[in-house]
Amino acid sequence: MRSRLVASLRPVPVLLGAIALLTACMPTIPQRSLPPQPPPAPPDLPALAPCALVHQTSEEDLSNGARGWFRGTWMSQYSTFLIRHPKGVYLIDASMGSDTAGDLDKSPFWFRLQFGDAKSAKPLKVLLAEAGVKPEEVTAVLLTHTHWDHTGGLAELPNARVIMSAADADWILKQQDFLIEGNMPRHFDTVKDRIDRLKFDGPPTDGFPASQDVLGDGSIIAIPTPGHTRGSTSYFVRSSDGHRWLFIGDAAWVKEGFEEPATKGRLASTVVDQDKQQTADTLALLHEVYAAKNATLVTAHDARTWQDVPLCKAPATVVK
């Protein structure tokens, strides 16, 4: 979830923010000395070309995205990523569905004030149609975390498995509230029986303590990157052409987050990061991957990080 709390200057968020600011103490980002080593590429990787589906774009205060003063703005996206793999069509997150208006109408007024403009976000099924994909063709969604702006489209995918951390799954399925900590548990109502919990029973990789080979061919490797939520997860995606991306969800909102590295703005982090210290620890590991040039880090909300991740288009059809 991204937030425009500071930019909005609306009374309740500002009041809540002032209280949070007064009480917030920001963690430091640990530094490490040894660069992580990427594992060797498996021999039979498929050629993969992830692309982005953009539900909505809006201008945000960059000082929310990365701690600092007067950084200007960045164009923030609500996004879903699409990967065509020989085993099926995979999505990373399922950002916005057809009932975003319903999501907002039933939310508390401060949430509507904050995120009301998301009512005009394009639903996932519309974006999939533009990319030439039927919703029933989606094989699985790889969830980075459970915040409402990453799960709104789940209900539009009738056959997709939902691959996610056990920590996030176990927590969200117990929740009864309409809106809790930026999550909307009702988004999981139709997919409860299609959830596959990641075990992270694979070896350490790239400085991270554990991993899981999602498809068994080395092309998509899940790693635990907790902090933003209890079970936030990132995914290495590796193609036979040598590309290696790391989709990090909201571990950082903007490129400055993992480049410098810098936590989100003090107020933003206090509001949206479930565990600030854990988020900072994760950021340190992500920064090392970035600094060692072991992968292209891709955030959900900052298109400046989408290097070699173009907008999705329908595959060209051959006219005979």
**Hey, what amino acid is at 319?**
V
- Mapped onto helix, strand or coil, the DSSP state of residue 213 is strand
Closest separation in Å from C-beta 89 to Zn ion: 22
**Measured between alpha carbons, how far is residue 142 from residues 58, 146, 211, 237, 284 in Å?**
25, 11, 14, 11, 23
Residue with smaller CB distance to Zn ion, 151 or 212:
151
User: Which residue lies nearer to Zn ion by CB, 93 or 281?
Assistant: 93
- Nearest residue (CB) to Zn ion, 80 versus 294: 80
Q: Smallest gap, in angstroms, from Cβ of residue 88 to Zn ion?
A: 25
Q: What angle do CA 25, 5, 51 make, to 5 degrees?
A: 105
Nearer residue to Zn ion within complex by CB, 1 or 143? 1
Q: Is the distance from CB of 198 to CB of 163 less than 8 angstroms?
A: yes
Closer of 48 and 309 to Zn ion (Cβ): 309
Task: For residue 41, give both structure tokens.
Answer: 């590429």
- Least separation in angstroms between residue 60's CB and Zn ion is 12
Q: Using an 8 Å Cβ cutoff, are 200 and 211 in contact?
A: yes
Cα–Cα–Cα angle for 226, 308, 227, rounded to 5 degrees: 10
* Shortest distance (Å) from residue 161 CB to Zn ion: 21
| Contact present, 156 and 97 (Cβ < 8 Å) | yes
Q: Are 179 and 111 in contact (CB under 8 A)?
A: yes
DSSP state of 265: P
**Phi, psi (5° rounding) for residue 17?**
-65, -40
Minimum Å distance from CB 218 to Zn ion?
28
Transcribe 173-201 into DSSP letters.
TT--SSSBTTB-GGGGTTTGGGEEEE---
Please identify, using beta-carbon distances, which residue of 245 and 294 lies nearer to Zn ion. 245
Rg (CA), the chain: 19
Residue in this structure with the two tokens 């060797």, named with its chain if needed: 40
Pair 120, 54: CB distance under 8 Å: no
Q: Which residues bind Zn ion (CB under 5 A)?
A: 1, 149, 250
CB of 149 to Zn ion, least distance (A): 5
Minimum distance from CB of 115 to Zn ion (Å)?
11
**Closer of 206 and 250 to Zn ion (Cβ):** 250
Residue pair 29/252 in contact by the 8 Å Cβ criterion: no
Nearer to Zn ion, 181 or 213 (CB): 181
Q: Which is nearer to Zn ion, 67 or 264 (CB)?
A: 264
In whole angstroms, the minimum distance from the beta carbon of 56 to Zn ion comes to 12
Least distance from Zn ion to the Cβ atom of residue 247, Å: 12
Residue of 195, 208, 263 lying closest to 235 (CA atoms): 208
